[in-house]
Amino acid sequence: MAYTAVPGVRVPIRMWTDPATVEGQAMQQLRNISSLPWISGLAVMPDVHLGKGATVGSVIAMQGAVCPAAVGVDIGCGMSAVKTSLTARDLPDDLSRLRSRIEEAIPVGRHGHDDPVDPRRLHGLPTAGWDDFWQRFDGLAEAVKFRRERAHSQMGSLGGGNHFIEVCLDTDGAVWLMLHSGSRNIGKELAEYHIGIARYLPHNQGLVDRDLAVFIADTPQMAAYRQDLFWAQEYAKHNRSLMMALLQDTVRREFRRTKVAFDQVISCHHNYVAEERYDGQDMLVTRKGAIRAGSGEYGIIPGSMGTGSYIVRGLGNTAAFNSASHGAGRKMSRNAAKKRFTADDLAAQTKGVECRKDSGVVDEIPAAYKPIEKVIDQQRDLVEVVAQLKQVVCVKG
């Protein structure tokens, strides 16, 4: 579909969904974003829903400013996926052992590794720049200096909430590995630290929503945030790379007789800031719940733990700032889902998937999310579908 332009305060709100279907609070958030003095453009993806600080599914282009709450607290959160040489015929009927082996290799929830993972022991994982990355930890905000040990142990771990690791099948029966995670606790603490600073800067005192406080160019606060932001985005990318390498090693061991091969890994952030140029102007583009979908660029748009996911290729639509949705998007809050559904409902909606089916993950029930097929259909001018996947194993924190 082509976008619908909704009047905003300073810029129109370009929406790749029916505005009438967007909850009132989310629409107000979008109007608040459109009122920021520094904004150059605002695009809204079909998975849009109310977010903390800023709307999930928003792409915000600014000149000389960035809003840390519009990035979110899971800086650099994103997806990785890889196609394997395995097929459905190679998988055992009982997938519980494979799920257990994955959970043994990759800590979930708040846990980290007992000993930090040495990337040099993982098959085929590039390690260039690894030492430099960790040396730059000393330049981060003073508030997180004591978190080095925890950041090391959580590198290569999943986290909780909507983060997951999956084994999937595409429509041709090929096996894919896919995972979703971000910058873990270190990214959260860096985000909260800088959001707290931004709220009290003089230029933010007249904003309609203090959660939309920004840093502006050529200030020490902006310089400090950019340094920590880009480091955390790099942490998230390394975290997914380590997990994918651990996941591939686990699959190799489980299918050692098959000599499993892997294609090139596809990886993308969906909570991050990028320096990009549009209409001859340099901009800071914030994607919160959105992926970059430049022409020919591969991306991943997952559904819920009982539906499907899509591998896509970007069409380079500059009206959307070369973006697409990051997933199906919630249609129900976590608390509402817990009140409405039971573990039995979860078991019914995840039938055929080897996964947790207990009350601890009821808030991730498929019915709490928008239909992924409709979300994909609403952005046919943003991406083209390369592969459609359906999970057979799903690991949650």
- 204: annotated binding-site residue? no
- 327: annotated binding-site residue? yes
Cβ count near 67 (within 10 Å): 27
CA 245 vs. chain centroid, Å, equals: 19
- 371: annotated binding-site residue? no
Question: Which of 240, 236, 235, 242 lies closest to 122, judged by CA?
Answer: 242
CA 358 vs. chain centroid, Å, equals: 24
Classified as helix, coil or strand, 121 is helix
Active-site position among 49, 238, 269, 326: 326
Q: What are the CA-CA distances from residue 49 to residues 23, 33, 93, 328 (Å)?
A: 7, 14, 38, 10
- 329: annotated binding-site residue? yes
- 325: annotated binding-site residue? no
- 51: annotated binding-site residue? no
- 396: annotated binding-site residue? yes
Alpha carbon distance 178, 182 (integer Å):
14
Note if 269 is an active site residue: no
- 152: annotated binding-site residue? no
Alpha carbon distance 322, 293 (integer Å):
5
Output phi, psi for 153, to 5 deg.
Answer: -70, -30
Structure-token pair, residue 371: 């239909």
Alpha carbon distance 249, 352 (integer Å):
25
Q: What are the CA-CA distances from residue 346 to residues 38, 236, 336, 337 (Å)?
A: 44, 29, 14, 11
- 364: annotated binding-site residue? no
- 309: annotated binding-site residue? yes
- 43: annotated binding-site residue? no
Structure-token pair, residue 340: 């409405």
- 305: annotated binding-site residue? yes
- 166: annotated binding-site residue? yes
- 185: annotated binding-site residue? no
Question: Which of 166, 169, 162 lies closest to 179, judged by CA?
Answer: 166
CA-based R_g, the chain, Å: 20
- 149: annotated binding-site residue? no
- 180: annotated binding-site residue? yes
Alpha carbon distance 236, 113 (integer Å):
16
Alpha carbon distance 241, 221 (integer Å):
30
Alpha carbon distance 138, 225 (integer Å):
15
Annotated binding residues, as ranges?
74, 162-166, 180, 270-271, 302-305, 309, 326-329, 396
Catalytic residue numbers read 326
Annotated binding residues for GMP, as ranges?
162-166, 270-271, 302-305, 309, 326-329, 396
Annotated binding residues for Mn(2+), as ranges?
74, 163, 180, 270
